[in-house]
Amino acid sequence: MSKEEEKSLSEKLAEISLLLYNNTNTGREGLVQKVDTLREDFDAYLKEKATEEAVHKGKMAVYGAIGGAVTAIVLFLAKLFIPLLFKFV
């Protein structure tokens, strides 16, 4: 490999390195940093989504329990008062 080819390859590697890693001269983020940032954002999104789903499931459980309790009370009152109504008919 000639000196010119070595210099050319070295320059190309330097350019690739500038793309991959943060460039302190220009203040631009490199691809590695951008991928890390995207990963952190996506992990935060997944965590938020899981929390929302858990809250939703909890609310549905509470609503179901309230509905079941109301139904049980209505059935209890119906069993108690329906025979009394038929006595007067």
**pLDDT digit string, tens, across residues 27-63:** 788 888 899 999 999 999 999 999 999 999 999 999 9
| Cα 73 from Cα 22, distance rounded (Å) | 67
pTM of the model: 0.62
Which residues span the domain enclosing 28? 3-88
How many domains, in total, are found in the chain? 1
Q: Residue 16: in which H helix or E strand, if any?
A: helix 3-20
Please, is 53 exposed, middle or buried when counting C-beta atoms within 10 Å of its C-beta (0-12, 13-18, 19+)? exposed
